[in-house]
Amino acid sequence: MIFDNHLHTKFSSDSQMTIREALQAAEKLGLGLVVTEHWDYDYIDTKNYQDMDFRFEPEAYWEEYGSCRGSTLQLGVEVGLTGSSRKENIDFLQRAPFDQVIGSIHTIDMLDLYYPDFYEGKTKQEAYGEYLTVMAEMIRENPYIDILGHIDYICRYAPYPEKLMKYADFSDLLEEVLRAVLETGTVLELNTRRLGDRAAQKALLPVYRRYRELGGRYITLGSDAHTAENIGMNFQQALDMAAALELQPVTFSERQMLYCR
């Protein structure tokens, strides 16, 4: 069974999705799910744009969803990696027997990449360069994560007219990220959100090709859905890409990697 390994339901501050809606959508598509609620310990909504608090109580999550957990539903978390939250993140992961842990870069120097502030006064080369440098550092500092989430996250929100992260423009830094992934035994996610855009897909292809060349064998597919209709989004494109690059889609249960077939 193919799994959507990245989605957010109501325990994430930016999602209202119920577990029932998620399960119904997945069943229609014949997909398994790993729910990955947001845990960004030291997130500060500096501008108070939406007053978000990306934390949740894992005990409540387990109590409410635990009975749904089984062969087609696993309970995971997406941890926002920052230099100042390592200890709190590790402590947090002790509070419930999570099936899967995605590590993601959502903020740098306490600035949310979603908002314009991070990019102010920076060229695209500088902003993307900083993003990839921090990403490589965070992977090495947090080797306990199972998966590196959305390597192309910055391309969603950067304010530059050309948002693509072309491999040739960032090859050294991308290679450093891929080496950090492989040296720490982390699996690279293929986040499917941008795969509907052919240019975005074309720009991502060499990243995953290089991952394969350096010895990467496994990927997780993740839609990053915050609503039921986005579950499994662009999965055909992702499966085609995985097949072309001979990358094996996997999922996690009780922190153990399982092949998806």
| Minimum CB distance to Zn ion, residue 77 (Å) | 10
| Minimum CB distance to Zn ion, residue 8 (Å) | 6
Handedness of CA 55, 83, 162, 190 (dihedral sign): negative
| Minimum CB distance to Zn ion, residue 27 (Å) | 21
- 88 versus 209: smaller Cβ distance to Zn ion: 88
Helix 198-213 to helix 235-245 angle, to the nearest 10 degrees? 30
Q: Which residues bind Zn ion (CB under 5 A)?
A: 78, 104, 224
- 193 versus 213: smaller Cβ distance to Zn ion: 193
- Spell 109-140 as b/e; 16+ CB within 10 A means b: eebbbbbeebbeeeebeebbbbbbebbbbbbe
Residue whose CB is nearest to Zn ion in the complex, by number? 104
| Minimum CB distance to Zn ion, residue 105 (Å) | 8
| Minimum CB distance to Zn ion, residue 6 (Å) | 6
- 16 versus 123: smaller Cβ distance to Zn ion: 16
- 104 versus 186: smaller Cβ distance to Zn ion: 104
- 32 versus 80: smaller Cβ distance to Zn ion: 80
- 78 versus 176: smaller Cβ distance to Zn ion: 78
Handedness of CA 14, 19, 21, 25 (dihedral sign): positive
| Minimum CB distance to Zn ion, residue 80 (Å) | 7
Which amino acid, one-letter code, is at 181? V
135 Cβ contact list (under 8 Å, min separation 6): 105, 148, 151, 177, 180
